Structure 1
Amino acid sequence: MADYLADVKKYDSGASAEVVDKIVKHLGIALRNRDSSLVSATDPKELERVKTNWVGKKLGVSDGAKADAAIDKTAKAMASDNSKSRVTFYYLVAKELGKLGSL
């Protein structure tokens, strides 16, 4: 958990450990595998899964343009990070959409 929080804090120094913990619990088993614990921001299928499963289902955002904008902004913010942690990516997307409080 501390590693995930430290990674999120690279992008948001005021990140809440409670919110990060909720994302970690939501992702569960996906974090055990290195490949599924990372987000490939250059793979359109991967970004569509983030949009459908995280933004749509979990965060309840049905506005596709708003979802795409948040995902795009997050991908750009993390562009220099070759290993984009799924926890950090999801956190930043939720923050961009103003949904951290609803997790």
Structure 2
Amino acid sequence: MTDARESVLAYAPEADLDVVDKMAATYRLVLSNRDAALVSASDPEELKTVRENFLKKKLGLGESDDALDQAITEVMTTMKDGKPNPRLAVYYLLAEKFGKLDVFK
């Protein structure tokens, strides 16, 4: 859990650690695969997966694809520091952006 916390705290220093822990438990299998634990900002198919599987299915968002894609772009821009983009941090920032952290409480 420490790595999960650190990956989120790097981008959201005020993150709710209980939510981070719950997210880490929810995505435990995905996070255990090094390749799947990262989000490639340059891979349109991967960004589509984030939109469809996380934003729409998990968070239940009904905004247009364009609006959801814009939010993903904003989060990825925030994280643009030359380091890999940890999936858990991307998910946390997106859930926070849409006011959906309570999904993981």
Do they fold alike, i.e. is TM over 0.5? Answer: yes
Match for residue 79 of structure 2? 78
Gaps of 5+ in 2: none
Q: Distance in 2 between matches of 1:7 and 1:81?
A: 14
Structure 1, residues 35-72: CA drift from partner, whole Å, max 9, x if none? 01110011000000000000000000021233112211
Q: Number of residues paired by the alignment?
A: 103
1:97 aligns with 2:84: no
Structure 1 residues 81, 16: closer, same or farther in 2, change over 3 A? Answer: farther
Counterpart residue number, 1:2: 2
Q: Given the alignment of the two structures, is residue 16 of structure 1 paired with residue 16 of structure 2, yes or no?
A: yes
The match for 1:65 is 66
The match for 2:29 is 29
**Alpha-carbon distance in 2 for matches of 1:23, 1:69:** 23
RMSD, aligned CA: 1.2
Deviating runs (4+, > 6 A) in structure 1?
none
Q: CA deviation at 1:33?
A: 1.2
Matched residue SS, 2:99: coil
- Give the letter for the 1:2 counterpart: T
CA distance in 1, matches of 2:12, 2:39: 18
Unaligned runs of 5+ in 1: none
